[in-house]
Amino acid sequence: MTSIAKPPVRHPSLRTNALGLTIRDYEGGMSTLCAGCGHDSVTAALVQAAWELALPPHRAAKMSGIGCSSKTTAYFMKQSHGFNSVHGRMPSVTTGAAAANRELTYIGISGDGDSLSIGLGQMAHAIRRNVNMLYVIDNNGVYGLTKGQFSASADIGSKSKRGEPNEQPPIDPVLMALAIGATFVARSFSGDKKQLVPILKAGLSHHGLALIDVISPCVTFNDHDGSTKSYRYTREHDLEVVQADYVPIVAEITLPDSESEVRTVQMHDGSAIRLRTTAPDYDPTDRASAVAHIRACQVRGEIATGLLFVDGESHDMHDRLKTPESALVDLPFSQLCPGAKALDSLMNRYR
């Protein structure tokens, strides 16, 4: 994973966030991905989202597996610890880190190869555990680093660069996540920063695993005619069915009565998201409704995007483990070791 340091030049007029940091403070090394890669736009949106949220960079941890997508954790938030682990196993490493230190913000970046083939099981079980993390899938339908094999998200009939059609049905991470109890499920497009940034902000504020499937075209191996993951195809078939506004904690949440189709979901940290759907019968806080609507869009050949489902009552892994509010790593040894007297008295049980 190559990365090149960026020159530390800063324009004096750059705006600062609540921590006094400019957007440059949220950047990382120079990307070495192909020019025009969708993943770089996702990185830019993440930088924007983290800066707008005034996330302290050193309190975040960037987690990834292997693949083009996983390389991008080196391209943002250089002041955060990062962990580029093994292929398809980012979810388990993040689960362990989150178990040990729940106080950090975990940003997991994965891809369709990393999450839907080799790591499908790990992704599913991180969702089931509801690990408190952002889980971004940079989804381009191909294996880029190994030069263009189909991934498990490739649609039936989608053509490879050499013109061969894919014949196996795709795994849709959004529908799968909804089926196994995900508490925050979104789909977006790397070419739509306006939509993506508020979704990322909402995902970072979510108490539990926030899964965001981002269609992120591969300009080198999957951006041709006949591909269903190209820029052109995605633009033509993208249908934003839920528009999400992220409302930070400080802002007063007011809802005009007239906007009856707007739903406000209160987040665990005090912020809120306002969801505006295009279809009157679609309730993005209702799992069955979300699944039905996404399926209906698929039948029509539309890619439903937006914050498709959110559960405001989400209980994360730590809620279920009943661990202390503070991190396990910060517990003093005296609270962990029962001591000599306890051991001596325990020994009587083994006689």
The site for another protein (CB under 8 A) is made up of: 1-3, 56-59, 61, 73-74, 78-86, 89, 91-101, 103-104, 121-122, 124-125, 129, 321-324, 328-329, 331, 333, 335-340, 342-344, 346-347, 350-351
| Burial of 55 (C-beta count, 10 Å sphere; 0-12/13-18/19+) | buried
Q: Given the complex with another protein, which of 128 and 232 has the nearer CB atom?
A: 128
Report the b/e string of 101-123 with b at 16+ CB within 10 A: bbebbbbbbbbbbbbbbbbbebb
**DSSP-derived secondary structure letter, 50:** H
Q: Given the complex with another protein, which of 83 and 298 has the nearer CB atom?
A: 83
Question: Minimum distance between the CB of residue 70 and another protein, rounded to whole angstroms?
Answer: 10
Question: Minimum distance between the CB of residue 23 and another protein, rounded to whole angstroms?
Answer: 18
Question: Minimum distance between the CB of residue 41 and another protein, rounded to whole angstroms?
Answer: 22
Q: Given the complex with another protein, which of 131 and 200 has the nearer CB atom?
A: 131
Q: Given the complex with another protein, which of 250 and 347 has the nearer CB atom?
A: 347
141: left (phi over 0), alpha (psi -120 to 50) or beta: left
75: CB partners within 8 A, 6+ apart:
3, 27, 28, 29, 30, 31, 40, 43
Question: Minimum distance between the CB of residue 276 and another protein, rounded to whole angstroms?
Answer: 36
**DSSP-derived secondary structure letter, 279:** S
Q: Given the complex with another protein, which of 80 and 227 has the nearer CB atom?
A: 80
Question: Minimum distance between the CB of residue 215 and another protein, rounded to whole angstroms?
Answer: 27
